[in-house]
Amino acid sequence: MPSFSAEVKNELAHFNETNICCIRAELSALLRMGASFVLNTKHHMGVNFTTENAAVGRRVLAFIKGLCIGEIRTELVVMRSRRLQKNNHYTIRVMPSKVTNKLLEELGFINGDGSGFNMGKDSALLSKYCCKEAYLRGAFLGGGSVNRPDAGYHLEFSTSNYEFSRQMLNLLNQFGFPIGTTTRKDNYVLYLKESEAIISFLRMIGAEQVLEEFESTRNLKEVRNQVNRLVNCETANLQKTVNAALRQVKNMTLLLKNINISDLPVVLQETAKARIDYPDASLSELAQILGVGKSGVNHRLRKLEMMALQLKECEKK
């Protein structure tokens, strides 16, 4: 069974994006999350983008070609995992060339003024709302993860690039997401922990189908919690009933040992006997056996218990 992250990514990787501005923004974030860069002796840069998800790899390739910068040489390398249950890795290599430099300039990695490499400030790509959403989609596809809701609510982005992580934080704050931050090994981690925030984030970046699963699992989880609460409550009530019945049986037995039963009014005689004969019966069952109302039985039992109590008091003196 694929992980929930993989399911989300599979859906997002097929999100139909046709705006060039958004393709640029999404591709930029994809590469920021999942790529490393190489420089050859001619000062031409190349890109190695690695992902566990074949569909994400195909999307990156399609986007690079779709931007029509010029003739770009790419290569796909599949690293098969030797260990069972470990995913394959797909690496897309964009060979260093003049055109690749142009691509990276268009994506905001190389500053147009020749001042070098831009570590993570993509404000030029993020002026439009549509592009901000696309950028977040790219970041998730490139290195985000999300738990299946029954495993606890958690969505995160993890990156070793501090500047990029600050930009992501800023962007997510702009959308009002309650983002938490932490570090793990050498990585900066941004995370969401609230189910509502995770749902609205996934909806915003275009994961509609998996959301249905997410929401129904969440609802099921809530119903299960409610049922558990009810069951716990009922168990507590049941325990109370059992304790009361045990106490009543003890008191009735004590009473009948010490007084002549025929001295009691008939209704009390019947009630005391019924209590002793049916120690497991609830109050309403006892009422049914005796053919009276619940409050009537309750009243009689209380009277009998009072008598037993008085008896105990007398014994003490």
Tokens of 171: 């962007």
As a whole number of Å, the CA-based R_g of the chain is 35
CB of 28 to Zn ion, least distance (A): 12
How far is CA 51 from each of CA 34, 103, 153, rounded to the nearest angstrom?
7, 20, 24
Give me the least distance between CB of 61 and Zn ion, in Å please.
20
| Residue among 19 and 288 whose Cβ is closer to Zn ion | 19
Tell me whether residue 93 or residue 121 sits nearer to Zn ion (CB atom).
121
Q: CB within 8 A of 258, min separation 6: which ones?
A: 311
Closest CA to 174 of 111, 131, 119, 120: 131
User: Minimum distance from CB of 76 to Zn ion (Å)?
Assistant: 27
Total Cβ atoms within 10 A of residue 140: 28
Q: Residues interacting with Zn ion, by CB under 5 A?
A: 19, 21-22, 128, 130-131
CB of 220 to Zn ion, least distance (A): 37
How many residues are present in the chain?
A: 317
Q: Return the number of the residue (21 or 79) whose C-beta is nearest Zn ion.
A: 21
Question: Which is nearer to Zn ion, 19 or 310 (by Cβ)?
Answer: 19
- Closest to Zn ion by CB, 26 vs 305, is 26
Provide the minimum distance between the beta carbon of 232 and Zn ion in the complex, in angstroms, as a whole number: 51
Q: How far is the CB of 33 from Zn ion (least distance, A)?
A: 18
SS3 for 193? coil
- Measured from the CB atom, the residue of 20 and 261 that comes closer to Zn ion is 20
Distances in whole angstroms, Cα of residue 307 to Cα of each of 275, 295, 297, 311, 316: 15, 18, 15, 6, 14
User: Least distance in Å: CB of 126 to Zn ion?
Assistant: 9
- Determine contact, residues 58/10, Cβ cutoff 8 Å: no
Q: Are 294 and 284 in contact (CB under 8 A)?
A: yes
25 or 202: CB nearest Zn ion: 25
Instruction: State the minimum distance, in angstroms, from the CB of residue 48 to Zn ion.
Output: 26
- C-alpha span between 89 and 31 (Å, rounded): 15
> Please, what's the largest Cα pairwise distance for the chain?
115
Q: CA angle, corner 26, sides to 112 and 78, nearest 5?
A: 100
Q: Which is nearer to Zn ion, 22 or 252 (CB)?
A: 22
User: What tokens does 234 get?
Assistant: 């009922």
Let me know the angle formed at the C-alpha of 190 by 184 and 196, rounded to the nearest 5 degrees.
135
